[in-house]
Amino acid sequence: MGSPRVGVAGATGYAGAELVGLLLEHPSVQLTQVSSRSQAARAHREACAGSLCDLELTEELDPTGLEVVISAQSALEAAAQAGAWLESGALVIDISADFRLRGPELYPTWYGREHPAPELLREAQLTIPELELGSRGGRILALPGCFATAAILATAPALRSRLVQPSVVVDGKTGISGAGRGAGPAYLFSELDEAVLPYAVPGHRHQPEIQQALSELSRSPVEVTFVPHLVPMTRGICVPCYLRWEGGPALERVREEYQLAYGASPFVHLVEAPVPTKLASRTNHTFIHLNAQGSHLVVEAVLDNLGRGAAWQAVQALNWRLGLDPAAGIGRAPQWP
């Protein structure tokens, strides 16, 4: 059997373009199609700074002959097309939010409109390989958002241990690239330089997926309070999480739970002291620091929002699903943005 043929939908956004760069150098798959409605008929390298991809962008992917479709489109665009991709026999990996939430009734609340294919939500799998979240047999792999990935990796082992109460406060900070290439005037350098901006305080759309995943992993309802902040850097996410001890401090026992969860992972690292976001930049690595403060366990997770939070995580999920080397194709450091 030859190398699986892969198509990328939404290949000119920040995450999509980064994904194209990674797949071009992947030793075990072939990147054969790229699409972009706004840049159709141009070569990818003409549309995206730093790209080495000569493939011509099309308005839509032709699923014929594709074994894998990875979508990096705007929210709910992949869901409208996924039926045709699946019918052709392709595995679907979605970087956006189209299949993260199990309940179709949640989409009007968090995404402003009805889900275009609610029947597909039943077979979608929210996927984090380190936590055995998802299924190797699934046809739709839904990748958690950048904040959600950090918060879930940061807190799942503690919540599963029952050493903390089933409630977490997530205090997120992210770089500006998380807003994408189409961001408006509020994201101009002159607006954001020398400023930190909290946003979506009444509720951010990553909050329900964090809550859903943590409740599933800990097998009991988990309450999540989440406030994100925009900080003046291009890439990176820092997520301090605060959990109250159940029955008294047990830091060393919690450390053991994290070591069991991540000790064999090539991408999640337990560190002795907090690290800057720059350490994770342009990688698939997540750094987790554990400490205690009074009645609380404090867990900090640092990752790259476009790396482990999007494109690089998609390659990791692809490798996991197809039984490939976990690190295959995860090595090139993209230079844009």
d(CA 156, CA 154): 6
Q: First and final CA of the chain: distance in angstroms?
A: 36
- pLDDT for 128 beyond 70: yes
Per DSSP, helices labelled H in 167-288 are 189-192, 206-218, 251-262
Per-residue pLDDT, averaged over 197-218, amounts to 96
Q: Write the DSSP string, 60-109.
A: S---TT-SEEEE--STTHHHHHHHHHHHTT-EEEESSSTTT-S-TTHHHH
- Write the class of the CATH domain 147-305: alpha beta
Domain residues of the chain, as ranges?
Answer: 5-144+308-322, 147-305
Q: What is the model's pTM?
A: 0.95
Spatial distance between the Cα atoms of 210 and 20, rounded to a whole number of angstroms = 27
pLDDT score at 225: 98
- For residue 1, what pLDDT is reported? 47
- Indicate if the pLDDT at residue 183 is higher than 80: no
Residues annotated as catalytic are: 146
The model's confidence at residue 333, banded by pLDDT at 50, 70 and 90, is: low
DSSP three-state, residue 227: strand
Q: Which CATH class is domain 5-144+308-322?
A: alpha beta
Q: What number of residues does the chain have?
A: 337
Contact 230, 153 (CB under 8 A): no
